[in-house]
Chains A and B, each alone.
Chain A
């Protein structure tokens, strides 16, 4: 059904009226940012000025130490004289030596700003060798005076004093060097030996355009996201909480019309707030409250400003759609606020594309929403517009905005989001009913514990202990704990059911096929994210240590994982998720979780792939036994291949293709003999009204 303009207009007007009457929204979205920016700028400006003035006016106190102290004091006298000569007696850097028996302690106690350690180069060399210092200065004549300024960088005045002292010493030394050279008959001043000059061909506007082009999109995204978030969260999540969404859904307007009106409202608020904020910023730049060396006015002509507005329109649309989608998927205002922070961080990322050096719009970036506009804006501001790709970028981002708005419309037809049925039933029933709600957090904790154990045990104990701790202690122990805590039926939870005999034949075919395709997946992943060979070698050495006999390795790496990991992942985790997600999503989620538990980065994808295969087998057969057998045999075959020195990772691509065909045949057999996992969700989706 087409979206009816008058209805959308009526909805929009009412939404706008209600928003303007909401003091909280006005305060958080407009008044607060408007007030906070000047306060922050004034405060930071004032504090900086005060700090600079204080550091300028300070008389820096220091101590001199070391065997060549007399030489240092002599040099300091010359520094003072040189400073008086060059500044007419009004030196901005004032310093005074103070007595300190222990200069290091005096520095620690803030009795001096810094101290000078004066030694000969030979003494410095000896000292560094004694301390076994990694970095040594270049070789110097042994008698040369080396002055080290010792300071504390965690104190402003100490760092500033030491830095000013180094600069003054360097200036004096340079001047004295020049005098010596002239006295020796050198005809030129040092600065005139080889003059270096530069010529910039870019106009002032282009230089300013580059700076502005890099900053503008992230800044605008910040304003758009933060400005419209309150309205967006309130528009759907807030309405659900207040019960007004159900009232609206029983009226003659369609879901698409509701989303269109709310989208328009968020867009309006986002644009208005952004315009106010940009104007606010310009006022502060104009009044020089924000110090800038760049003439931004030179980069933005009236025509550029109009083009910028056009380019940013789909970005604002996309931001509004994304926020609406987040709001639509949250059941309450609080839940929407929880979702907002990661969305905010992710949303800012594409805006940074303009900061990547040498990335032209005429590249794959043109299809990446927001990132393409970011690069286009930069190219526009430096005066190199690529009109065809501007149009492509605009269409890509606008299409993303439209698609996201469509998803938001679908959220308004998703029954579990708009009319949760018996939402609290699980809380009341407790026990097994509560397990599906808690299963993810249990595995999150288990993952954290596994990670901590792996990081701490890897270097302290051998493979046998670590495997036993992980498999028996964590996976099996954790599973038993969950079964007891939620009073779960062991047979149902672990899917302890017989399967048709043909399934076992399929498993026999699937074991080598799954292993080879797994290696194929690893090789594909290696193209995108190459793993250094030494990492794989180190892992192999750890997994197959020569000190552990085969009779111990075999049960540790085949039987135990086949039982313990299957009980945890294809038993508990799959059981917890099977009613929450569609079957394909269950296989994906179980596989990915299994991959994440194999802590090494390069193992995640292949193990996730295997985890998905095992989960698919359990979902199709309704039994954990084939997955246990497959898992154990897979590990056994891998062990055998490794011990026998088979080079399975460097086979011809057609071998992997053959393996994939065998795997397909294996799943065809399983499909033909399927006895699906009980209680799975069907593939069904409600229609948008």
Chain B
């Protein structure tokens, strides 16, 4: 029997904000991801994307509902979840005083990659992401583009079957953003399950096999781009997004 890489059922996260009181950041969402697909979470800032992904990465605890990564429940088996997961976001930084090679060795080791195979894995990643010339240089001496390569290599160092990329292109220039998209496409082709969150329509259009539109903590549409086009009668993702969000607003305030 094949395990569903990512399964989310009624996942909810409320938090208490001093100024706003109870905030429903994620409000009972459901979705699942298949092996070898890029699942896009598309939403405006504050829609609940990052909170959802942080719950999947076990940084935040769900208020209710359930989610699992490779069959491991995020609340009950957090270490197992994280062992099968690579998490990348613009806020996950690298240790500045380690070299690129040391970084990969360290993250492979603490994520449970077999110790005997770590040196080979590190060298393979150094070659794959093309930073052999500066693999021995401390991270704080690297340029933004080089850091990005080390950071992606760090995410996949332990060869996890599921990868989360939370707004990975935020703050990158056009070329680095394109590089990032290329790498994500390659990882999908290798059979990895990728959850990719963004608020940039063109990225989602180009990369995602399926797209979930999230607004005010709820998923209002979830399908392939073609089916979303058919159901909304709009061609461009931007128009589809606006259409879905407006309809969600109408439902919330009849």
Contact = CB atoms under 8 A, between A and B. Distances in A.
A419 interface: yes
Contact of A425 (B16, B20, B97, B98): B20
B59 A10 contact: no
B234 to A, nearest CB: 31
B91 to A, nearest CB: 5
Contacts of A580: 18
Given A17-B98, A252-B110, A579 B18 contact: yes
A1 B80 CA distance: 11
Contacts of A247: 87, 92-94, 154
B129 to A, nearest CB: 17
B106 to A, nearest CB: 5
A559 interface: no
B251 to A, nearest CB: 24
Contacts of B16: 579, 681
A419 B89 CA distance: 13
Nearest to A241: B93
Interface in A338-375: none
Interface in B40-91: 46, 51, 54, 57-61, 75, 78-80, 82-83, 85, 87, 89, 91
Interface residues of B, number: 45
Given A433-B19, A436-B18, A243 B110 contact: no
A687 B58 CA distance: 11
B249 interface: no
Contacts of A679: 21-22
B92 A421 contact: no
B18 A252 contact: no
A687 B17 contact: no
Contacts of B54: 419
B165 to A, nearest CB: 12
A242 B139 CA distance: 13
A230 to B, nearest CB: 15
B92 A243 contact: yes
B15 interface: yes
- Choose among B19, B82, B95, B158 the residue with the greatest number of A CB atoms under 10 Å from its CB: B19
Interface in B151-197: 154, 158
A297 to B, nearest CB: 42
B59 A11 contact: no
Interface residues of A, number: 41
B83 A252 contact: yes
B147 to A, nearest CB: 12
A437 B18 contact: yes
B233 interface: no
A689 B110 CA distance: 16
Contacts, number: 115
Contacts of A418: 59
A654 to B, nearest CB: 44
Given A7-B110, A251-B82, A687-B75, A421 B97 contact: no
A426 B85 CA distance: 34
B225 interface: no
Interface string A247-276: 101111110000000000000000000000
A421 B110 contact: no
A246 B82 contact: no
A415 interface: yes
B45 to A, nearest CB: 11
Interface string B87-117: 1010111111110001000110111100000
B97 A22 contact: yes
A421 B91 CA distance: 13
A243 B90 CA distance: 9
Interface string A226-247: 0000000000000000111011
A428 to B, nearest CB: 9
A421 B79 contact: no
B19 A14 contact: no
A422 interface: yes
Contact of A244 (B23, B87, B93): B93
B25 interface: yes
Given A251-B110, A252-B112, A425-B20, A18 B97 contact: yes
Contacts of A313: none
Contacts of B109: 7, 10
Contacts of A14: 95, 98, 102, 106
- Choose among A1, A251, A415, A437 the residue with the greatest number of B CB atoms under 10 Å from its CB: A251
A21 interface: yes
A126 B61 CA distance: 86
A647 to B, nearest CB: 47
B110 A250 contact: no
A22 to B, nearest CB: 6
B195 to A, nearest CB: 13
A253 B59 CA distance: 12
Contacts of B110: 7, 10-11, 251-253
Contacts of A681: 16
Contacts of A222: none
Interface string B129-160: 00000000010000000000000001000100
A600 interface: no
Given A18-B98, A419-B60, A250 B22 contact: no
Interface string A160-192: 000000000000000000000000000000000
B107 A251 contact: yes
Contacts of A436: 18-19
A243 B16 CA distance: 23
A437 B20 CA distance: 12
Contacts of A433: 18-20
Contact of B82 (A22, A242, A252, A422): A252
A500 to B, nearest CB: 24
Interface in A395-431: 413, 415, 418-419, 421-422, 425-426, 429
A687 B106 CA distance: 27
Nearest to A254: B79
A18 B95 contact: yes
A251 B21 contact: no
A334 to B, nearest CB: 18
19 contacts: A10-B109, A14-B95, A14-B106, A17-B97, A17-B98, A243-B93, A244-B94, A246-B93, A250-B92, A251-B110, A252-B158, A254-B79, A415-B61, A421-B15, A421-B23, A425-B20, A429-B19, A579-B21, A681-B16
Q: Nearest 7 pairs between A and B by C-beta?
A: A433-B19, A243-B93, A250-B87, A252-B83, A689-B78, A426-B19, A247-B92
Given A10-B109, A14-B106, A18-B97, 14 more contacts: A18-B95, A21-B138, A246-B59, A247-B92, A250-B58, A252-B111, A415-B61, A419-B59, A426-B17, A426-B18, A437-B18, A579-B18, A679-B22, A689-B58
Interface of B: 15-23, 25, 46, 51, 54, 57-61, 75, 78-80, 82-83, 85, 87, 89, 91-98, 102, 106-107, 109-112, 138, 154, 158
